[in-house]
A and B are shown apart, each in its own frame.
Chain A
Amino acid sequence: MKTGLINTISKIALVLIPTITLSMAATAHDPSMHVKKAEKADCSKMDHSKMDMNDPVAIAMMKKCMQQAEKSNEKMDHSKMDKKMDHSKMKKMDDNNMKKDEHNNH
Chain B
Amino acid sequence: MKKLKLVLFLSVLGVGVTAAVIYSGIVNVAADEPHSDLVYWLLEATRENSITKAAENIKVPDLTDPELLLSGGVDYEFMCASCHLKPGQRKSDMSLGLYPTPPNLAVSNDSHEGHEHGDDRQADRNNFWVIKHGIKASGMPAWGKTHDDQRIWAMVAFIKRLPSLTPEQYQILTAIE
A60/B66 in contact, CB under 8 A? yes
Q: Tell me if A33 counts as interface (CB < 8 A to partner B).
A: yes
| Per-position 1/0 for B61-80, Cβ under 8 A of A | 00011111110010000100
User: Assuming A33-B92, A63-B70, is B168 touching A57 (CB within 8 A)?
Assistant: no
| Per-position 1/0 for A47-79, Cβ under 8 A of B | 000000000110111011101100100000000
Given A42-B172, A45-B171, A56-B69, list of 6 further CB < 8 A pairs? A38-B176, A46-B168, A46-B172, A56-B68, A60-B69, A64-B175
**How far apart are the CA atoms of A19 and B177 in the complex, in Å?**
42
Within 8 A of B (CB), among A6-45: 33, 36, 38-43, 45
Band of interface residues on B: 20 to 34
Residue of B nearest to A96 (CB): B64
Q: Tell me if B116 counts as interface (CB < 8 A to partner A).
A: no
B66/A68 in contact, CB under 8 A? no
B26 to chain A, nearest CB (A): 28
Q: Tell me if B93 counts as interface (CB < 8 A to partner A).
A: yes
Residue of A nearest to B167 (CB): A45
User: Cβ of A45: which chain B residues have Cβ within 8 Å of it?
Assistant: 168, 171-172
Residue of B nearest to A39 (CB): B175
A75 to chain B, nearest CB (A): 14
Residue of B nearest to A38 (CB): B176
User: Assuming A45-B168, A97-B66, is B175 touching A57 (CB within 8 A)?
Assistant: no
Within 8 A of A (CB), among B128-177: 161, 164-165, 168-169, 171-173, 175-177
User: Cβ of A92: which chain B residues have Cβ within 8 Å of it?
Assistant: none
User: Cβ of B69: which chain A residues have Cβ within 8 Å of it?
Assistant: 56-57, 60
A85 to chain B, nearest CB (A): 16
**How far apart are the CA atoms of A50 and B123 in the complex, in Å?**
29
User: Assuming A33-B93, A45-B168, A56-B161, is B173 touching A61 (CB within 8 A)?
Assistant: yes
User: Cβ of A57: which chain B residues have Cβ within 8 Å of it?
Assistant: 66, 69, 161, 164-165, 169, 173
B82 to chain A, nearest CB (A): 9
**How far apart are the CA atoms of A36 and B67 in the complex, in Å?**
24
User: Cβ of A103: which chain B residues have Cβ within 8 Å of it?
Assistant: none
Residue of A nearest to B164 (CB): A57
Residue of B nearest to A97 (CB): B66
